[in-house]
């Protein structure tokens, strides 16, 4: 069973930055495609960013393209989400998720999830 633990969330002013981290247990982290999703109050969970097993391919939701960057360090079993130029509409609980195989951008396609970290952007 893979366990994911997110960290790095918090309160930031609009225009600011945060860096989220997701630490994974297990020795096969480098085989997983990883992703970040978010869920705002009373809204469905949505895709934010994803990265393939090697880090050579990345994918972004249109709403965050150019502002967020996903990356991974397989030696540290960690995936990151650098968030710049944050907006109030980025406020949500951010979840790390992973799956065996190719990258997918749907919540239903992920095999395991973290418990989330809260990001709040004030105007």
Write the DSSP assignment of 37-71 as a string of letters.
EEE-TTS--EEEEEE-TTSS-EEE-TTTTTTEEEE
What is the predicted pLDDT for the residue at 2?
A: 87
Q: How far apart are CA 79 and CA 113, in angstroms?
A: 13
Cα dihedral 10, 14, 18, 24 in deg (nearest 10)? 60
What is the predicted pLDDT for the residue at 120?
A: 98
pLDDT tens-place string over residues 34-46:
999 999 999 999 9
pLDDT below 50 — which residues of the chain? none
What is the predicted pLDDT for the residue at 61?
A: 98
What is the predicted pLDDT for the residue at 19?
A: 98
Picking from 98, 90, 94, 97, the residue whose alpha carbon sits closest to that of residue 116 is 94
What is the predicted pLDDT for the residue at 1?
A: 76
């Amino acid at each position: 069973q893979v366990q994911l633990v997110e960290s790095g969330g918090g309160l930031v002013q609009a225009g600011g930055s945060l860096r989220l981290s997701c630490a994974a247990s297990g020795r096969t982290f480098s085989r997983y495609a990883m992703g970040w999703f978010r869920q705002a109050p009373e809204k469905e969970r949505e895709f934010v960013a994803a990265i393939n097993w090697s880090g050579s391919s990345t994918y972004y939701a249109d709403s965050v393209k150019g502002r967020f960057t996903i990356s991974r360090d397989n030696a540290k079993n960690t995936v990151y989400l650098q968030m710049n130029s944050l907006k109030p509409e980025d406020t949500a609980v951010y979840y790390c998720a992973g799956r065996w195989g190719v990258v997918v951008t749907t919540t239903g396609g992920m095999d395991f999830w973290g418990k989330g970290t809260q990001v709040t952007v004030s105007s």
